[in-house]
Amino acid sequence: ADRVRWKMGSTYPGSLTQLGTLGKRVDEKIDEVSGGNIQIKFYEPGALVPALEVFDAVSTGSIDAAFSTPGYWAGKVPALQLFGAVPFGPQAGEYLAWVKFGGGQEIFDRLYAEHGIKSLFCGLIAPEASGWFSKEINTVEDLKGLKMRFFGLGAKVMEKLGVSTQLLSAGDIYPALELGTIDATEFSMPAIDLKLGFHQVAKYYYFPGWHQQSTFFDLMINKEKWEGLDKTQQAQIEAVCNDNLAYGFAEGEAIQFAALKELQEKGVNIKKWSPEMLDAMRGAWEEVAGELAAQDADFKEAYDSLQGFRANYKIWKDIGYLD
Amino acid sequence: MEALLKLSDGIDAIVSRIGKWAALLAIPLMLTIMFDVIQRKFGGQGSIKLQELEWHLHTGLFMLCFGFGYIRDSHVRIELIRDNLRPRTRAIVEMIGAIICILPFCALVIYFGYDFVLRSFENHEVSASTTGLTHRWLIKSTIPIGFGLLAMAGFSVFLKCYVFVFGPSNLRSRAGHYVGATHHADLGNEAARLKD
Amino acid sequence: MENFYIEDWFPLIMFASLGILVFSGLPVAFVISGIGIAFGFLGMAYDVFSFVEFFNIVSRIWGGIAENMVMVAVPMFIYMGTMLEKSGVAEDLLECLNVLMRKVPGGLALSVTLMGTIMAATTGIIGASVVMMTLLALPVMLRRNYDPSLATGTIAASGTLGILIPPSIMLVLMSDLLSVSVGNLFLAAIIPGLLLASLYTIYIFVRCQMQPHLAPPLPDAEALHGMDMVRMMVRSFIPPVFLIVLVLGSIFAGFATPTEAAGVGAVGATFLALVKGRLKWDVLKDVCERSALTGAMLFFLFAGATVFSYVFRSLGGDDLVIDLVDSAGLGAWGVLFLLMLIVFILGFFFDWVEITLIVLPIFAPVIAQLDFGDHLAVAGIGPTETQVLTWFAVMVAVNLQTSFLTPPFGFALFYLKGVAPKSITIQQIYKGIIPFVILQVIGLLLVMYFPELALWMPNTILE
Ligand code: NA
Ligand code: NA
């Protein structure tokens, strides 16, 4: 078959634990698996196109592929957010079950196909943290007027609880948190947050990350280019992505506790939300989900499919697992 | 030739008018930032819409002034060699520059920018941060418009230089705006300001 | 022998064309974008680029310049500078400083360095600070018969300090690409930033001491005494101090982010003009217009540069750089020196974002694994990977700050040229910047030789 030489954009820098390294792994593995027949070159965000422009770029074919998460396309295809991470959503096993066998995949394929994109699930990671706070949060009342940098579905939920959400430029987050211009920021998971040094400016680290219990990454490919591949080549790329799913999940589970220990040693207060707080947030999320479903038919379809699957899955989950 | 010069002046007037209006966006920009800072400190609701409004205003401000900037000749040049050229040669260089450097660039940005805006329009694109501003295509459309204005400015400069090179000598002074020695950054230059 | 393919050399030919055509006298931004696009088409003819890839130019202009929140500070700083100039506030201050520092060689130039260091406490977009300082200080310096080269060199160099001294958008991008803490990099850059400011200060002082005609001292006749002096100080110091307190105060009190502080300053400058009775609708309109024209000049340079570097990268320019380092087969210090040299040379042509994107992702992991012996060891303990990366990042940062100053494509020089009085030629600017570039290189070598300059702050405060 014809050799493939693709340019792959990314929404994450290649050095970023998991989020970026999983993208670079696609570049390396596809080369090995295909014996050099397929090369998909990883480009840093901004090297070819800015991070959040990869969707349009893959869609037009001005880049061939991109490593990203469906959660980023809230502004363009709201329903795709449900394939990135769902607040109070399923954990990895259940999430994977839904997309592969519960009807998720079909909706996913259709949503992307409308934009000329073929996308493969290509990474799955452990829960995120809920965020870094400069003060302790004990009651829902404490959230009122809190200035928090937040992005995506979670931001809508937080606004319902009276949080003043902020969208700061990357350069401003750190000084703003340090100087009290904002009180909190969401970021990622312990292994990443430790490297990025958020403990240097905020002392309270909250869990669980209700807004992101597990997160999918995907490899978006220009649909025409995907269809131009032969069966073997397609299977090779699919195999690499499936391998990446397992690899990323295992790695994510393996690296968090050491980071948590180190953060604790550095004097970070690691906190868990109280059940009341979680209930309040869940209530707010259900309201938000209802509004989104009312606004967007695709979102409703995907959300109903997920909720339906989860109701059925519960039959098994309750009896099959220890707790 | 006279007509060409008239056409060029007409284009200048349109592009300058839009540029002058866009320039005033600095005032709402400044006020929006101030308002955001104050209301955040004294307990306001989310600021995302305001923060997005800030870069919207800024984008409108500079995109719509690219052409205005060329007409006022405020784009920076290195005149090292230019200063030693005859005005006629300068005008020829400027003509070639307008055709080779400006117009293809503008054409590409307008062509793909139209597609860029259309995608946004058809997807009903809103802010990626979900709680931000809607109707993203509006602000995106400043890209093809801004480069359209620049193309108009480029065309106008081309006409002036064409008249300067090939036209009668009595039109030279009116057409010679872009061939003066060390011509740059007419910021604050009274003559330039009185011109339109 | 390998076959020769002309298309492999396109990136180098792009460099060469730029180096020549920039002197055509056409607007610089037009030349740089024009070359980018021309080579895109050339690439199409040789089948190494496709038409649809031009789409990415729009994405880059949109995502990199328009939808980029930090850029909002630029028009605000320009507005602030223009308004201060118009209202006479800046002139009063500089004249007063001049009188006060009558006995200090190069007093005005030293004030400019101080002003640049203070402005560096904001996000530090070079375009904004250089434009602002040029508007404010250059006319006064020229009127006082300062040597144009010394005046412009001082302004350009001091105006670029903001990209190194935190908070800095450049350090944030580096922390992203290296996945090290922003806090580490911010702390690590403080001493090198202040070191450079001190080097400038020493240089200006010594040079003006030796060659007083470069910065003529005020005649004694203009000295003020007693109450006159006090009155002048009150009149000329209060407004700018108010403004500095407003801008820095709003940041440090946690009111405004470093980006927003620019907007706060713009409102403050308008207020000062109002108090001085100079704020009329015509004045406001004129200030907006001149700011917009300056902004258009700046942002069109950004747009042009993004086209050039995009096409350069698409045609394999990055690989050319990478192969060069890989094929050299050097030891730890050799690699480091070569990389610094490459960054320095790339700095002649590219802006810092693109150089960072070429150099950091590929070479930082390499550097992190290199063995520099005990050079970085603290108290007998070998350095951690974070420490090596921090040291490396700070050296790259100093080097990239220099890239704003190096001809032919020194962006700081263009910004300065763009708003300077007509009498200033690019030759004078080029000539004036040379001593400062040498100082930058000295600063870089110092950080290389004494890693503590970068590592002492983070080691002490964070560990
Ligand atoms: Na700074
Ligand atoms: Na340079």
Using the Cβ of C310 and the Cβ atoms of chain A, whether some distance falls under 8 Å is answered with: yes
CA angle C81, C86, C92 (to 5 degrees): 85
Q: A239: distance to nearest CA of chain B, Å?
A: 31
pLDDT band at B182 (very low <50, low <70, confident <90, very high): very low
Tell me B196's DSSP state. -
Query: What mean pLDDT do residues C163-179 have?
Result: 87
Find, among C6, C16, C18, the residue nearest to C307 by Cα.
C18
Find, among C132, C122, C164, the residue nearest to C400 by Cα.
C164
- Spatial neighbors of A13 by CB under 8 A, at least 6 apart, are A20, A44, A45, C176, C177, C179, C361
User: Which structure tokens are listed for A119?
Assistant: 């996308």
Q: Parallel, antiparallel, or unpaired for β A204-207 and A269-272?
A: parallel
User: Angle formed by the axes of helices C281-314 and C126-143, to 10°?
Assistant: 130
Q: How far apart are CA C37 and CA C44, in angstroms?
A: 11
Query: What mean pLDDT do residues C269-279 have?
Result: 91
- Spatial neighbors of B60 by CB under 8 A, at least 6 apart, are B22, B25, B139, B142
Q: How far apart are CA A109 and CA A118, in angstroms?
A: 7
Find, among A34, A59, A38, the residue nearest to A49 by Cα.
A59
Sign of CA dihedral C155, C156, C159, C165: negative
Contact: A159, B45; criterion CB under 8 Å: yes
Which residue would you say has higher pLDDT here, C438 or A155? C438
Among B120-124, C105-109, C355-359, the range with the most confident prediction by mean pLDDT is B120-124
Give yes or no for a cis peptide into C258 (omega within 30° of 0): no
Query: What mean pLDDT do residues A183-198 have?
Result: 88
Query: What mean pLDDT do residues A293-322 have?
Result: 95
Q: How far apart are CA C174 and CA B76, in angstroms?
A: 29
H helix and E strand count, chain A = 12, 11
Q: How far apart are CA B157 and CA B155, in angstroms?
A: 5
Single-letter code of the amino acid located at B64: L
Give yes or no for a cis peptide into C361 (omega within 30° of 0): no
User: Which structure tokens are listed for C76?
Assistant: 């605000």
Name residue, tokens 């984008």.
Answer: B59
Q: Parallel, antiparallel, or unpaired for β A131-133 and A117-125?
A: unpaired
- For residue C429, how far is its CA from the centre of ligand 2 (angstroms)? 13
pLDDT single digits (tens) C216-239: 887 776 667 777 878 888 888 888
Counting ligands in written order, which one lies closest to the CA of residue C121?
1
Q: Are B153 and C29 in contact (CB under 8 A)?
A: no
- Residue B58 CB burial class (10 angstroms; 0-12, 13-18, ≥19): buried
pTM for this structure? 0.91
Q: Kindly list the residues from chain C whose CB atom is less than 8 angstroms away from the CB atom of residue B75.
A: 27-30, 296-297, 300, 418
Q: List the shell of residues around ion ligand 1, using CB closer than 5 Å.
A: C 120, 124, 162, 165, 168
Query: What mean pLDDT do residues B121-142 have?
Result: 90
Q: B175: distance to nearest CA of chain A, Å?
A: 41
Assign C347 to helix, strand or coil: coil
Name residue, tokens 């492999």.
Answer: C8
Interface test mutation site (partner A, options C53, C182, C255, C360, max chain A beta carbons within 10 A): C182
Counting ligands in written order, which one lies closest to the CA of residue C116?
1
Percent of all residues in chain A with a pLDDT value above 90, rounded to a whole number? 80
What is the reported pLDDT for B82? 83
- Across chain B, which distance is largest between two alpha carbons, in Å? 68
Q: Kindly list the residues from chain C whose CB atom is less than 8 angstroms away from the CB atom of residue A17.
A: 179
Contact: A164, B46; criterion CB under 8 Å: yes
Query: What mean pLDDT do residues A148-173 have?
Result: 82
ipTM of the complex as predicted? 0.93
- For residue C399, how far is its CA from the centre of ligand 1 (angstroms)? 16
Find, among A187, A188, A143, A135, the residue nearest to A162 by Cα.
A143
Find, among B69, B89, B56, the residue nearest to B152 by Cα.
B69
Give yes or no for a cis peptide into C408 (omega within 30° of 0): yes
What is the reported pLDDT for B196? 36
C348: left (phi over 0), alpha (psi -120 to 50) or beta: alpha
Q: How far apart are CA A86 and CA A306, in angstroms?
A: 10
Chains near B (3 or more Cβ pairs under 8 Å): A, C
- Residue A35 CB burial class (10 angstroms; 0-12, 13-18, ≥19): exposed
Q: Name the phi and psi angles at A133, rounded to 5.
A: -125, 145
**Is residue B191 predicted with pLDDT exceeding 60?**
no
Tell me A138's DSSP state. -
List, in sequence order, every residue forming a beta bridge with A124; answer none if it has no partner: A216
Find the range with the poorest average confidence among A78-82, B150-154, C81-85.
C81-85
Find the range with the poorest average confidence among A2-11, B38-47, C110-119.
B38-47
Q: How far apart are CA A106 and CA A108, in angstroms?
A: 5
pLDDT single digits (tens) A220-237: 999 999 999 999 999 999
CA angle C237, C243, C247 (to 5 degrees): 145
Q: How far apart are CA C247 and CA C252, in angstroms?
A: 9
Q: Kindly list the residues from chain C whose CB atom is less than 8 angstroms away from the CB atom of residue B140.
A: 62
Chains near A (3 or more Cβ pairs under 8 Å): B, C
Which residue would you say has higher pLDDT here, A55 or B185? A55
- For residue C329, how far is its CA from the centre of ligand 2 (angstroms)? 28
Name residue, tokens 């093809």.
Answer: B144
Q: How far apart are CA A171 and CA A155, in angstroms?
A: 20
Q: How far apart are CA C203 and CA C210, in angstroms?
A: 11
Percent of all residues in chain C with a pLDDT value above 90, rounded to a whole number? 47
Which residue would you say has higher pLDDT here, A129 or B188? A129
**CA-nearest residue of chain A to C125?**
A171
- Across chain A, which distance is largest between two alpha carbons, in Å? 63
Which residue would you say has higher pLDDT here, B172 or C158? C158
Q: Are A98 and A121 in contact (CB under 8 A)?
A: no
- For residue C114, how far is its CA from the centre of ligand 2 (angstroms)? 23
> In chain A, which residue ranges form alpha helices assigned H by DSSP?
21-33, 54-60, 92-101, 104-113, 140-143, 153-160, 170-179, 190-196, 223-227, 231-265, 275-295, 297-320
Q: C339: distance to nearest CA of chain B, Å?
A: 30
Using the Cβ of C254 and the Cβ atoms of chain A, whether some distance falls under 8 Å is answered with: yes
Using the Cβ of B113 and the Cβ atoms of chain C, whether some distance falls under 8 Å is answered with: yes
Q: How far apart are CA A145 and CA A129, in angstroms?
A: 21
Q: B51: distance to nearest CA of chain A, Å?
A: 7
Rg of chain A on CA atoms, in Å:
20
**Is residue B184 predicted with pLDDT exceeding 80?**
no
Q: How far apart are CA A10 and CA C430, in angstroms?
A: 39
User: Which structure tokens are listed for A197?
Assistant: 């040094």
Tell me C2's DSSP state. P
Sign of CA dihedral C288, C293, C297, C302: positive
The whole-chain average pLDDT of chain C stands at 89
For chain B, first and last CA: distance in Å?
Answer: 21
List, in sequence order, every residue forming a beta bridge with C85; answer none if it has no partner: none
pLDDT single digits (tens) C372-431: 877 777 655 667 888 889 999 999 999 999 999 998 888 899 999 999 998 899 999 999
What is the reported pLDDT for C382? 67
What is the reported pLDDT for C352? 87
Query: What mean pLDDT do residues C317-334 have?
Result: 83
H helix and E strand count, chain C = 20, 0
pLDDT single digits (tens) C19-71: 899 888 899 999 999 999 999 999 999 999 999 999 999 999 999 899 888 88
Percent of all residues in chain C with a pLDDT value above 70, rounded to a whole number? 97
User: Angle formed by the axes of helices C352-369 and C281-314, to 10°?
Assistant: 50
Q: Cα C253 vs. chain centroid, distance in angstroms?
A: 26
Using the Cβ of C76 and the Cβ atoms of chain B, whether some distance falls under 8 Å is answered with: yes
Which residues in chain C (101-130) have CB-CB distances under 8 A to chain A?
123
CB atoms within 10 A of CB B6: 12
Find the range with the poorest average confidence among A21-35, B89-103, C316-330.
C316-330
**CA-nearest residue of chain C to A21?**
C179
Single-letter code of the amino acid located at C49: F
Query: What mean pLDDT do residues C303-317 have?
Result: 92
Name residue, tokens 């131009």.
Answer: A228
pLDDT single digits (tens) A172-185: 788 888 888 899 99
Using the Cβ of A197 and the Cβ atoms of chain C, whether some distance falls under 8 Å is answered with: yes
Q: Are B68 and C292 in contact (CB under 8 A)?
A: yes
